[in-house]
Amino acid sequence: MIIKYLGHSTFLFKAEDGTTVLTDPYKPGAYGGALTYAPIADSADIVVLSHDHEDHADLQSLPNQPLVVRSEARVRGIDFDVIHTYHDAVEGKERGKNRITCFIMDDIRVCHAGDLGHVLSESQVAEIGALDVLLLPVGGRFTLGPADATHVAGQLRPKVVIPMHFKTDKCGFPIEPVTAFLEGKSDIKRSPTSEVILHKEDLPEKCTVLYIPPGN
């Protein structure tokens, strides 16, 4: 499986059979120019949306018209499981609801946490189940911050945690940079490029943070 990090919470997954899944496509220039990542040029077969904010759900700017997943579904042979959560720590009263989406590609179980804003309940942890790869917001203010993101990673215990939704020179949101999440962690792998290849048999036994730099 190839994982390509475009920026913010947007990733492109490509299976060995060529099937592609895009997560939470951002809108270039969203929120008055706060996001300056380049337009998304990658076509995808399927798009997963965690919620409908413009930095996570811009379907109009995509180069094709993919199938859209907002609820549990089987699409192109892939089962998508959706766990309903919130965008804040007060049951959606501030920023609404959020969907966590899990799917299996090339025998690797992936979980995209969207704009998760709270630590998980025991029932939510059980509903998500065993994971290989967890894509987790870490920037704080609008989502989990570094400390709560670390806590959620401990709750879910994936083999690989990929941080997302953090401050960069192309994200003007008042959130933390990825270094705030990485600080104090020893099991960190840094990719030199925005694309990584993962094989089931090569996944680490101990939970490892995989930092992927945004490519757009």
pTM value is 0.95
Summarised one tens digit per residue, pLDDT across range 71-90 is 989 999 999 999 999 888 88
Summarised one tens digit per residue, pLDDT across range 9-49 is 999 999 999 999 999 999 999 988 999 999 999 999 999 99
Hey, what domains does the chain have and what are their CATH numbers? 2-211 (3.60.15.10)
Burial of 87-107, coded b for 16+ CB within 10 Å and e otherwise, reads: bbeeebeebebbbbbbbebbe
**Hey, what are 64's tokens?**
């094709």
